[in-house]
A = this chain, B = another copy of it.
């Protein structure tokens, strides 16, 4: 079974180069993206929601036009292993999730996902082979409509210079930038 236009092996290499390792979550994510795209009408423009920040965003970024930086991918961290691709035009789309029920017949995937073994006790090659064999059979699909307030594009508006730190910031954020309002992540 292919992952979009790639063989599983080619996709695994692309994942390794971008993500740093052939991580099971990004590999399964490949089949998730593939299943979602196959269930969208041909040729539509779509945005993406990723319901976890772990691994899965990278599958979306590698296989679709949606990235964090271009704003087509939003991470809404619900801790669920699920993604949605939805049409820009009408917010209608396809949600794909890793199905706990269907995972029961795939012991390596189940053990990995539920963390039933310590990481160093897991045989990564066995997990990857099971992911390849399972393909989309561990996934389920729902047709959804994204809430308009979530789908809405936010624009930064006017750019100003912060009177405190002298850096540029969206004027709508306040009299000074969010860092100077106390959000600075540095000591």
Interface positions of A (Cβ within 8 A of B): 18-21, 23, 25-26, 49, 51, 53-59, 61, 65, 67-72, 75-76, 78-82, 84, 95, 97-101, 113-115, 144-147, 150, 156, 158-159, 161, 166-170, 173, 177-179, 183-187
Known pairs A78-B179, A79-B169 / 8 extra A-B pairs, C-beta < 8 Å: A23-B69, A61-B67, A79-B177, A84-B186, A100-B161, A101-B166, A144-B187, A147-B186
Given contacts A67-B19, A70-B23, contact A76 B115 (CB under 8 A): no
How many copies are assembled? 2
Given contacts A70-B20, A70-B23, A144-B186, contact A167 B100 (CB under 8 A): yes
Given contacts A115-B158, A186-B95, contact A56 B69 (CB under 8 A): yes
Closest residue of chain B to A158 (Cβ to Cβ) is: B115
Contact between A168 and B58, CB atoms less than 8 A apart: no
List of 4 A-B pairs having minimum Cβ-Cβ separation, nearest first: A58-B69, A144-B186, A78-B178, A150-B185
**Bound form: Cα–Cα A178–B99 in Å:** 17
A113, A159, A167: most-surrounded residue (chain B CB, <10 A): A167
**Bound form: Cα–Cα A187–B95 in Å:** 13
State which of B21, B59, B115, B166 has its C-beta within 8 Å of the C-beta of A159.
B115
